[in-house]
Structures are given as C-alpha cells and as structure tokens.
Amino acid sequence: MLEISKLVKRYGHDKPVLQDLDLVVEGSSVVSIVGASGAGKSTMLRCINRLVEPTSGSIRLNGNELVKLRGAALRRARRKIGMVFQGFNLIDRLTVMENVLAGRLGYVSLYQAISRRYPKQDIERAFTLMERVGIAHYANKRADELSGGERQRVGVVRALMQEPEILLADEPTASLDPRTSEQIMKLLQSLASELSLPVLINIHNVAQAKTYTERIVGLRHGNMIFDGSPADFTKDALDAIYGGIEAPDDEITEPPGANPKQGEQGVAHDQT
Amino acid sequence: MVDQTDVLADRIWQRYDRKERLIRYAVLLVTVMLVYWAVRDIDIFWPWVWDAPNQIQNLGARMWPPDPRRLEQIIGAMIETVHIATLATMLTIFIALPVSYIAAQNTTPNRACLWLGRFILVSSRSVNTIIWALLFVAIFGPGVLAGILAIMFRSIGFIGKLMGEAIEEIDRRPVEAMEATGASKLKVIAYAVVPQVMPAFFAIVILRWDINIRESTVLGLVGAGGIGVLLQGSIDTFAWPTVATILIAIVILVLIGETITSILRRKVI
Amino acid sequence: MPRTWRKPSFIANPFLRYGLWLVVLAYLFWAFGSLPFNWERIAEGLPRAARIFGSGFPPSFERGGLLLTGFKESFQIAILATLLGVALSIPFAVMAARNIAPLPVYLFGRAVIIISRSFHPVIVAILFVAAVGFGPLAGVLTLTLYSIGFVGKLLAEEIEEIDWGQVEAMKATGAGYFSILIYAVFPQILPRQVGLSMYQLDSNLRASAVVGIVGAGGIGGTLMNAFGRYDYDFAFAILLIIIAVILVSEGISGWVRKKIW
C-alpha cells in the first residue's frame, strides 16, 4: 500500500510544483495520473523513489516512511520500487540481458555486477520475464538494435527484475507509436494482475487511461482535482484538468526517445 | 597571410560595415607592428640568415649518404622508445581515469574534488613533456624511468581532459534508471557511465599513444632514454651520416605508429 | 531446468581472446625486462626530489631581467615563425592537395608535410642549431617548419573538400591556374586559415618554450641553464611563468577563434 500525504515539492523559491498532495493506492490497482505538461505528474512519481527530493510531506510504502531515508537504506527502499521511463533509459551499448540484469543491481555485490556473474535464480527470472513479454530471443542483442516497443519491454522487465512492491511508469508510451503504446499499456495492465502489483502510470493519453486503468487521478498545477473510476471521468473532469492550458491530444507532440529536453529534465530533477 | 586578408578585405569591402572594417584595420595594424617589433628587436645576426640556406645545404651534404653501420644499435634504441611510449600510455590510464572522474562536473563528488581535478589537468597540460623530462632527470637521474614519468605526467592532462569531457557528455537517463534500481554509486558508474564513454576512451588512448611515440623520440635529448640519447651522441661527435640514419628511422617509426593507430581505430570503434 | 547466461565476449574466439591477453602480458614482461632501469640511482630519487622542491620553493623572481629577455625572445620566435609558417603553408598545402596539384607535385608536397610532421620540433631544432648555430634563428626556422607541417596538412585537407563548382565556374571563364587559385580556392579556405593561424600561434608559443632547451633561443635555454646550475628556485619561477603564459595564450586563442567562427 502506498500512502502519500501532504506532499510538497518546490524547486528553489518558485511556486510549488506539488501542493499538499494526498494519495492512497491500495492492493494491486492500476492507477493512471493524467494532467497537462508541467502539472507535476513526473515530479510526483520521482518523489516516490526519491529521484527528486520532496520538500515536505510523507510517502509510505507498505508502512515504510520513504522521505527520510538516506544512503544504503534509501537504496534498499528503491530496489523495491520499479520504474519505467518515457525514454526507456536503457544502456544502449550493453546487451538486452545486461540491461535486464541491471534491475538486480540493488541486490548483487559490486563484483557480481561488474563481472556479470549474477546468481542463477536471477538469470532464470530474467529469462522467464523476457519470455513473458516476448523478448527472450534478443538476450544477446545490443539494446540500441531494438525497436521502440521492444526497448520499452526491456525497460519493463528491468523494473520487474527488482521484485518490486510497486511499479512506477513515467509516460511509458509517450515515445511509442499508437499501436505499440496500446500493447505496452495492455502489458502493464496484465502484469499488474499477474504479479498483484500496484502500478502508477503517468499518462497523457486520456483514452488509454480510461481503457487500461481502473482509477484515474487528475493533476492540475500540483493539485489533485480528480480521483475516481474511468466511468466517472466525464467531459467536465477533462476540461477541469486540461481546460485553458492546452489540448489534451498533445500525447503525440512528444517525439520519441532522443528528445534532448528529456535529458535536461532528468538532470534538473536529480540536482535538487 | 596578412597580405591576403588585406586583399580580401579590399575586394569584398561591402560585406563589412564601418565598425567591422575599423576593427579589421586595427588588427592588421597591431599585427604589422608586432611583426616589425619582433624583426627589429630579435637577437639575430642577419648576415647569418642570408647564409642559412648554404649552411643547411652544407649540413645536408655532410649527412649524405646515411650510414647504416650502427643500425642494430639504432633499432634497439627505437624499440626502447616504443616501450617508453607504450608503457607510459598504459600506466597513465590508471591515473587519468580517476582524475577525469573527479574533474567531470556531473560525476565529481564535491566542489573541492572538481577543482583538484582541474588543477591536476591544467598543470599537467601546461608543462611540456620535455620539461617534465628535465625535472624527472634531475630527480631520478638519466634513464628510461624519467622518460616514462615525463610522458605519463603530460598524458594525464591530455587523456584526463578529453575523458572528462566525454563523461560530461553522457546521456543522463541511464544514470537515472540505474539510481532508480537502488544501485550504489560504483554500480551506477559501472553500468551507466562506463559503457557510454568506452568508445571515446579507446579513441583517446590510441590518439595519445600515437602522440607519445613522437614525443618519446626527443626524451633522450635531455637524457631520459630512447632514440634521443643516440641522436644527441651522434650529433655531439659530428657523426652526421649516422644522424641521417636515425632521422630516417624516426620517420619510419612515426609512419608505422600512424598506420597501427588508424587500423586500431577502425577495429575498435 | 535452470538456464545459464554468460556475457558474450567482445572477442568471440576464446583462443584469440586468451591469446591476446597472453600477448599483452608477454609484452609487459619483455618491455619491463629489457628497459635499463638504474635502480640505485632511482632509489636516490625521493631525497633528491625533496631537496629539489625544498630549494625550489619559494620560487625566486630576483633575476626578473633574464626572465623577461627569455620570454621576449620566445614571443618573437613564435610571432615570426607563425607568420612565415602560415604564409609558406599555403603553397605547400596547394601542392599537397590531390584535387588541384599534378601527381608529382602532390607527392612532393605530401612528403614535405609528412616529414615535417614526423619530427618533433626539438629534433628539428637540434639540427638547425647544428646548421646555423645557437640562437633564435634556429628557433624561428624550426617552428616555421613545424607550422608548415601542421597548418599545411589541415589546409590541404580543406582544399580537397572545397566546393568544386566554383572552380569549374572560374575555368569556364577561361581563367588560368593561378587566377583559379586566387578566386575560387583561397576564398573558400580563408576562414579556416585565420582560425588555424591563431591556433598555430598558440602552439608555437608553447613549442618556443622548449626548443630553447637544445639551444634554439627563448626561455627554454634560460630554464635549461637554471636546471643545469641547480638554481631550482629560479627554474620554478620560470616554470610558473611558462604555465601562466600558456594559460593566457590558450584563453586568448580560444576566444579569438570563437569570435571568428
């Protein structure tokens, strides 16, 4: 169970990106977070695994407070939180298998990591998961030789390798074409039920959010202004979330992968 | 060259407005004055200058034909030269990599380390190999150790600076992903940084090895081992035909080095 | 059935892979074994280093006059050599550009450039010192040759990549060889040439500090003398100034090149 309460994040002295956010995710539900660019979706997700330092508030995962953790304790908490990224964030020059095994970095020793001598059960798990998503035959291919959809599958498997207690997905489909992004959403949905894993998905595409998730949270200017089932997500809710900012169909405006702004954003997140 | 600028500036004067033209003339004037000062003030005995072509021809004549009698010794010294360059390049890697790591803005642990790293790089780069050799010969005496250290100390700055830049240019996103898995700092480096800078690393080391071959040919002139010792000795004893052989050997060595370098570069990258 | 996975090796053939390691190891043994290390002398190194640095600090700027003369001469050598070298590099670059030079001329031009690039300036300097005697003249000649090699090579590559259409246009007007050079080739390479000259001035200044070590004038000679006479405090003063001058010159040269491009 993930409990976020009174979460505040501000960069420098600007207006807070997140204002007193409260959110509880129970059991193995798939929750989508919708909102315009800059609404604070990505910041909220990154506060959970502390890629972004929250300014104040509390985030508890299965009763563990995450906000105050440091060093090794933080790393131990992070390995229980899987994350899937918009730009896949794979290591291009390594093989698919190495990318997948990288999900175990929080568990194995430095020697095992560098020599690539992972425990047998890790490798077994890697093959099983890769077969599940249909990329096992690529195990020794370099990650940059794969197509977008295949790369995102590697990203998902890497996150699952962590044996996570929760899965965070930051715009997992924004860099993919419509058909592939449907596939990835389906995959996330079925994995959530198979592994009884709560999944939080940041998403631009409201139609996909309604189809593949059982709960929608709407953010605007760092405030939660909608929380309900897809059936309750009406035209009014859509207008409230996106109204006057930009059209909700901007899910196609983000070009895939190599968007340089994305990299900068990552840097900004991490320095704070 | 200066004339050329002048001619060109005249010919296409419409392209520049008044201010730009003024700047151009000012630059030209300063250049001419600097050159005038240098020519008038430099400590050159001018009759020698007019005689220089003769003297050079003379020296060339004394070198011809090259004398291959000490070829065996020369080849031995050449191999020593290559050893100095190769060993020094290999050893440099172990020092240059940590330095580049702390001198890169995105990986440095803290500001103090950043400035320490930059200080090491700048001081290494600003002192020429042969001056480093002078210093190490004074410390460790004449010999190959001084040569290896001299090449190393100069190469640290070169490899370290370029590697630091390569580290600063990496894609941040895999780093973020590795941090998200709960990996420690060293594991993040091993998985997200190292693979990304690998190609640059090989290219830089190969390039520096090529440069080091050239640099190590002169170490001997200050007593730091290699072919230079033999060259200095032959010049001191006016054995000009031997000098010619050594010079030919150096050209061949450098060409071989360049060939190996370009083959390696194509193979590795 | 548990599956195994090993990272596929960079070199797939195990014989080649281990063979390569063996070769590297054998090389290291050979290299370290064959190099003449004088361990007794090296063992004295640390106390000596302590003595050198002890007497070297603080650096002494007492003989400022000597320092100034040395640097002045280095500057003059660098300026004159850059001017001559950059001017002469143009004909050599034309000769060494395959697209505008006839084959025999091309081979000659390439040979000059390759030879002047193969020799470290210090070796060239020692030869010029032998030919024309000690002093800045040898330094100017050395760095001129050095500049021809470096600028000539890059310029020749630049000429080989020029837009050929402009040359054809000039040919169509019935222009002669030299008019084509001046009107169709030089304008295309000029911006590069200005940038290169600034770069070359900077690297000549660096090199002028070392050619003096073999007697070709400039601050290098002063430094060599200071080392020879165990005047380490003066030597360190010279070193500090050399570093400062190089940093300033690098900064200026970088700034100018950024302005031009």
**Shortest CA distance from C3: residue in chain A:** A124
Nearest to A116 among C2, C3, C7 (CB): C7
Amino acid occupying residue C118? S
Query: Does residue B178 contact residue B191 with C-beta atoms inside 8 Å?
Result: yes
**Ramachandran region, residue A195 (left: φ > 0; alpha: ψ -120 to 50; beta: rest):** alpha
Contacts of C77 in chain B (CB under 8 A): 42
Question: Is C5 in contact with A95 (Cβ distance < 8 A)?
Answer: no
Closest partner residue to B176 (CB to CB) among A75, A79, A266 is A266
Give the integer Cα–Cα distance in Å for A9 and A16. Answer: 6
Residue of B161, B158, B133 lying closest to B145 (CA atoms): B133
pLDDT in tens, B199-255: 899 999 999 999 999 999 999 988 888 899 999 999 999 889 999 999 999 999 999
Chain A residues within an 8 Å CB radius of B171: 92, 263
pTM here is 0.84
* Residue with the larger pLDDT of the pair A131 and A271: A131
Among the partner residues B1, B86, B134, nearest to C227 by beta-carbon distance: B134
**In the predicted model, is pLDDT for residue B5 greater than 60?**
no
Tell me how far apart the alpha carbons of residues B47 and B56 are, in angstroms, rounded to a whole number: 14
Chain C residues inside the 8 Å CB shell of A124? 2-3
Mutate which of B181, B185, B268 to test chain A, going by most A C-beta atoms within 10 A?
Answer: B181
**What pLDDT score was predicted for residue A78?**
92
- Work out how many CB contacts closer than 8 A connect A with C: 22
Q: What is the CA radius of gyration of chain B?
A: 25
Q: If you average pLDDT over residues C219-240, what whole number do you get?
A: 87
**How many CB atoms within 10 Å of residue A55?**
16
Q: Of C2, C7, C8, which is closest to A120 when you measure between CB atoms?
A: C2
Average pLDDT, chain C: 86
Predicted pLDDT at A260 = 40
pLDDT digits (tens, 9 = 90+) for C188-226: 888 778 888 888 888 898 888 888 888 888 888 888 888
Q: What's chain B's length in residues?
A: 269
pLDDT single digits (tens) B41-68:
887 777 878 888 888 888 888 888 888 8
pLDDT tens-digit series, residues B151-184 = 999 999 999 999 999 999 999 999 999 999 999 9
- The answer to whether ipTM exceeds 0.85 is no
Q: Give pLDDT tens digits for A144-168.
A: 999 988 999 999 999 999 999 999 9
| pLDDT over 90, % of chain A | 42
Cβ within 8 Å of residue C82, ≥6 positions away: C143, C147, C197, C200, C201, C204
Nearest Cα of chain A lies from the Cα of B267 at a distance, in angstroms, of 16
Where does the pLDDT of residue B188 fall: very low under 50, low under 70, confident under 90, or very high at 90 and above? very high
Long-range CB contact pairs, B1-10, < 8 A, 24+: B1/C83, B1/C86, B1/C87, B1/C90, B1/C193, B1/C197, B2/B28, B2/B31, B2/B32, B2/B35, B2/C83, B4/C90, B4/C186, B4/C190, B4/C193, B5/C190, B5/C194, B8/C186, B8/C187, B8/C190
Q: With residue A122 as reference, give the H or E element that holds it.
A: helix A120-133
How far is the alpha carbon of B109 from chain C, nearest alpha carbon, in Å? 26
